[in-house]
Amino acid sequence: MLDIKFVRENVEIVKENIKKKFQDHKLEMVDKVVALDIENRSLKQRGDDLRSQRNTLSKQIGALMGQGKKEEAEEVKSKVQAIADELKDIEVKEEKVSEEIKTLMMQIPNIIDETVPIGKNDEDNVELEKFGEPKVPSFEIPYHTDIMESINGIDLESARKVAGNGFYYLMGDVARLHSAVITYARDFMINRGFTYVIPPYMIRSDVVTGVMSFAEMESMMYKIEGEDLYLIGTSEHSMIGKFIDTILDESKLPYTYTSYSPCFRKEKGAHGIEERGIYRIHQFEKQEMIVVCKPEESSEWFVKLYQNTIDLFRSLDIPVRALECCSGDLADLKSKSVDIEAWSPRQGKYFEVGSCSNLTDAQARRLKIRVNGEDGKYFAHTLNNTVVAPPRMLIAFLENNLQEDGSILIPKVLQPYMGGIEKIEGNK
């Protein structure tokens, strides 16, 4: 969420930013916010004037009563009551206008970084760099669930009976591989100086609206019926929420955490064959990283965060590329974002396995995450990035390590997490 003062003083900049995100339907919101802000400040000023008058008159009542001028005192009391009645009306109006401003402000997108490429959707995203040599083997690579089924590693049919589409049972060596990847990713980030955290898997509505846009909330979050609780779509939600309504000591920044959690998502809409299986599902597990830092450090941390994911995938010998998200592909709270895509030998192209985002002070302003600095208080900057999300990671891993005989090689760095085995034997 932007600063209302910034919007008031930079109307054209805010509107131009909306145009760059191809959200022209939101342009009128800026004018509405400015008009409501004028009304709100006018109400506040009138309220302050009335309170001042009331204080002055209240003092007169005591003086008049002391002088025995009861009649005059009663007249002044009547004026004080009239002021009180008007103040009550003003406070009601002020609360209503403030709520309208907040609702609109939460829909106006964050100012995108000046380096973000302009484009309408993900087709306009820009490749930054490739890491590792993508290869296509001479033999045919089956669809990822077929690979899993060939080694008795997944049961989709039973999951459909138990929970419906978008769920799965991971079995045997595939389930073990899933846990191994998560544990390896945890240790990888700890070795890079991040503090390991297991957060709450449910959050309250004030945290939800603080960490994400209304559109994301509607399409992603599962609500617990009868309670003010939502299942998290990623541990970023509860990790950033950890700092809600706090004033941080500047000397303790940055906070660097790597968090594990299950994730729950509605994943509304129809998807093609490449997004079936375990690519787009309602329940999965993920290792995340988040940073809360000074504003002047967020750009540097942004690069460090997505480089961590690149380094992890390369340590497993999986080719990846970094893809800069264009303006139209950025969620409203994001100022800048880079997707990490892994190579799919079966498809002969890259696919998304993680996303790194700098939200500048947008989340911090919503959640009131402030920093006590030498020159006064200011809002922190927040960033997040996927270390690894095994469902998609498993797809990349299996395709890139599948051998012609159906076996799956285990990279050296992962072998200690797999009981020392060097490969998963194919089902002969």
Instruction: Quote the Cα angle for 398-403-408, to 5°.
Output: 45
Strands 283-293 and 255-264: antiparallel
Structure tokens that stand for 414 in this block: 């992962």
- The CA distances from residue 421 to 260, 352, 363, 375, 426, in Å, are 25, 28, 44, 57, 14
pTM, entire model: 0.90
The ranges of the chain annotated as CATH 3.30.930.10 are 122-424
Other beta carbons within 10 Å of 123: 9
Other beta carbons within 10 Å of 196: 13
Residue segments in the chain with a per-residue pLDDT below the cut of 50? 270, 273
The ranges of the chain annotated as CATH 1.10.287.40 are 4-105
pLDDT single digits (tens) 59-76: 888 788 888 888 888 888
The pLDDT, as a whole number, for residue 271 is: 52
Classified by CATH at the fold level, domain 122-424 comes out as BirA Bifunctional Protein; domain 2 (3.30.930)
DSSP-derived letter for residue 326 is P
The pLDDT, as a whole number, for residue 391 is: 86
The tally of CA atoms less than 13 A away on the side-chain side of residue 372 is 7
Tell me the C-alpha distance between 250 and 370, whole Å: 9
Query: b vs e for 140-155, b when ≥16 Cβ sit within 10 Å of the residue's Cβ?
Result: ebbbbbebbbbbebbb
The pLDDT, as a whole number, for residue 203 is: 96
Q: Which CATH number fits domain 4-105: 1.10.287.40, 1.10.3720.10, 3.40.140.10, 3.90.1170.40?
A: 1.10.287.40
pLDDT single digits (tens) 233-280: 999 999 999 999 999 999 999 999 999 999 999 876 545 545 567 888
